[in-house]
Amino acid sequence: MDIEMSYRRWMERADESLKPELAAMEGDAAAKEDAFYRDLAFGTGGLRGVIGAGTNRMNVHTVAKASQGLADYVVKRFPEEKRRIAVSYDSRILSDEFARVAAGVFAANGIRAEVYPQLMPTPCLSYAVRALNCAAGIMVTASHNPAKYNGYKVYGPDGCQITTEAAAEILAEIDKLDVFDGPRRMDFDEGLSKGLIGWIDAQVVTDFIEEVKGQSLLGGEAVDKGAAIVYSPLNGTGLKPVLRTLKESGYTRVTVVKEQEQPDGHFPTCPYPNPEIREAMQLGLEYAERLNADLLLATDPDCDRCGIAVRGPEGFQLLTGNETGMLLLDYICQRRIALGRMPESPVLVKTIVTTDMAQRIAEKYGVETVNVLTGFKYIGETIGRLEAQGRPDRYIFGFEESYGYLSGTYVRDKDAVDAAFLICEMFAWYRTRGVSLLERLEQLYAEFGYCLNTLHSFEFEGSAGFAKMQGIMAALRGEISELGGRAVRRVLDYAPGLDGLPKSDVLKFLMDGASVVVRPSGTEPKLKLYVSVSAPDRAQAARAEAVLAEDLKRFMA
């Protein structure tokens, strides 16, 4: 790509809102290179990138081009009566505008856009795709990324994020297009007046919430729902659906973190709005301590991830995604058996980087564990395969270490509305029995052994960073006999496809009592290292993990 030529063309033809930023690049070769060295990558995660001007940025032109590619794919692959695309968006900067641009492109191609009239969580988009019999869906979001990012997730007719094959076909259509001349455009209001754009009815949201409430495993049993709960939507989409679900289910002592209550794409009090990290949870923790609450919940901006903290002997303790997932799995299995609702040949689905301890818990209850690649769409696809076999009821739970959970088959993506609801129910059920979640977690560790799972991320920005990550992965595919003083017994390379899973740039190193998974993020300029260590107790596991993590840093230099 001729960067200077591309830059000059954008100066001439880009939307007026982008002209000041483009003008500021004049004379700044590094800024031009980062903005124009490639087209914004499109894959199974759709688009994700920094908001701004250029081919490697999220803006009205790159969104329109991607939308035209999706429209061309839908027209080629689906009959006219199926040509509908559901559209939702979160609280991020320009999310509403990008949603309107995309809907206008679909309308200009004769595809009806079904649009939520207000910002709505990712699981609501997944639900709408299936409820409205759409060919596809898009969710304008960058999930838990910092405020400078936005993105565009694409869903297939099954409500899952698109497969590798579908992404390749859509990308082929996108690559045929000129960023300015390729997309067909229609004004949003014109699309409304012509019936090519329509608002999604409120009943769809009500139906979704009823499905979430239907995940209850109380079976009519009375439990203590009087716990004091603090909730933060982290300035995202979770406020209304989460509060509505909890209120309608009898949880009335819920306090919302005021500073993080309303949608705000600048995320002023949590610059990295990810419930996986303590900084995002800090304000909620302060609320919980001040109000003497019992439980803290937080959902990320598109409300598909849920983090929690519970009161312990030494104040509030944050639980990891693995810990929360294990607790939910154990609760679901207990209650299904007690209620006579455990199906024949039940299935747990988890990702390969999610704690192996979950498999040991599942085995106790006679539940089969299916391991899939990182990404909840693979969990959703597994549900689809069970559905095709006429046995969707076999699926009882799916989760990933990155705080994504789903207990039902009504959507095909992780659902933090469902997670928040089930966590509150699980908390109330144990509370009624005088048991805390921390106590139950310790009981699980005592029964199955302690397992410490950590995530280490290394950022590599821009074109140089991208090349650096490729070099690191190549080096790790060399002969590595030991890590952290432990002999590497086996290396699993998923690049050519392994165990029937799709090809993926992932490596897993297996050692006695430990494993390490390394993979480039599919949505961020990061290399992620997942370290898992089993040991007799927490202290020994922590020491062993520290040695492994320190040794792995040599590859990141």
Mean pLDDT for the chain?
95
- Average pLDDT (228-235) is 98
For residue 557, pLDDT beyond 80: no
Residue 73 dihedral angles phi and psi, to the nearest 5° = -65, -45
pTM greater than 0.75? yes
Q: How far apart are the C-alpha atoms of 43 and 62, rounded to whole Å?
A: 14
Q: Comparing 35-205 with 226-235+242-257+264-320, is the CATH topology the same?
A: yes
pLDDT band at 297 (very low <50, low <70, confident <90, very high): very high
Q: How far apart are the C-alpha atoms of 395 and 383, rounded to whole Å?
A: 7
- DSSP 8-state assignment for residue 46: B
Q: Where are the alpha helices (DSSP H) in 132-238?
A: 164-175, 188-193, 202-213
| pLDDT score of 356 | 85
Q: Which of 123, 81, 74 is nearest to 102 (CA)?
A: 74
Q: How far apart are the C-alpha atoms of 379 and 347, rounded to whole Å?
A: 11
| pLDDT score of 523 | 66
Q: How far is CA 319 from CA 28, 306, 453, 467, 516, in A?
A: 45, 11, 12, 35, 21
Q: What percent of the chain has pLDDT over 90?
A: 88
Contact 158, 412 (CB under 8 A): yes
**Domains of the chain by residue range:** 35-205, 226-235+242-257+264-320, 322-414, 450-555
> For the segment 324-373, what is each residue's pLDDT rounded down to a tens digit?
999 999 999 999 999 999 999 999 999 999 998 999 999 999 999 999 99
Q: What percent of the chain has pLDDT over 70?
A: 99
| pLDDT score of 521 | 83
CB atoms within 10 A of CB 502: 16
pLDDT band at 37 (very low <50, low <70, confident <90, very high): very high
CATH T-level topology, domain 322-414: Alpha-D-Glucose-1,6-Bisphosphate; Chain A, domain 3 (3.40.120)
Q: Which CATH superfamily is domain 35-205 in?
A: Alpha-D-Glucose-1,6-Bisphosphate, subunit A, domain 3 (3.40.120.10)
Residue 510 dihedral angles phi and psi, to the nearest 5° = -105, 125
For residue 1, pLDDT beyond 80: no
| pLDDT score of 314 | 87
Q: Which carries the bigger pLDDT value, residue 68 or residue 43? A: 68
Give the residue numbers marked as catalytic. Answer: 143
| pLDDT score of 110 | 98
| pLDDT score of 307 | 98
**154 pairs with which residues across the strands?**
138
- Average pLDDT (67-90) is 97
| pLDDT score of 528 | 92
CATH T-level topology, domain 226-235+242-257+264-320: Alpha-D-Glucose-1,6-Bisphosphate; Chain A, domain 3 (3.40.120)
Tokens of 240: 């209304």
Q: How far is CA 28 from CA 16, 18, 52, 211, in A?
A: 20, 16, 15, 53
| pLDDT score of 397 | 98
Q: How far apart are the C-alpha atoms of 331 and 342, rounded to whole Å?
A: 12
Are β-strands 368-372 and 347-351 bridged in parallel, bridged antiparallel, or unpaired?
Answer: parallel
pLDDT band at 463 (very low <50, low <70, confident <90, very high): confident
Q: What is the CATH number of domain 450-555?
A: 3.30.310.50
> For the segment 507-541, what is each residue's pLDDT rounded down to a tens digit?
999 999 899 999 998 767 899 999 999 888 889 99
Q: How far is CA 58 from CA 41, 152, 253, 321, 523, in A?
A: 11, 9, 40, 30, 13
> For the segment 87-145, what is each residue's pLDDT rounded down to a tens digit?
999 999 999 999 999 999 999 999 999 999 999 999 999 999 999 999 999 999 999 99
| pLDDT score of 187 | 97
pLDDT band at 161 (very low <50, low <70, confident <90, very high): very high
For residue 498, pLDDT beyond 90: no
> For the segment 406-453, what is each residue's pLDDT rounded down to a tens digit?
999 999 999 999 999 999 999 999 999 999 999 999 999 999 989 999
| pLDDT score of 449 | 87
Q: How far apart are the C-alpha atoms of 280 and 198, rounded to whole Å?
A: 36
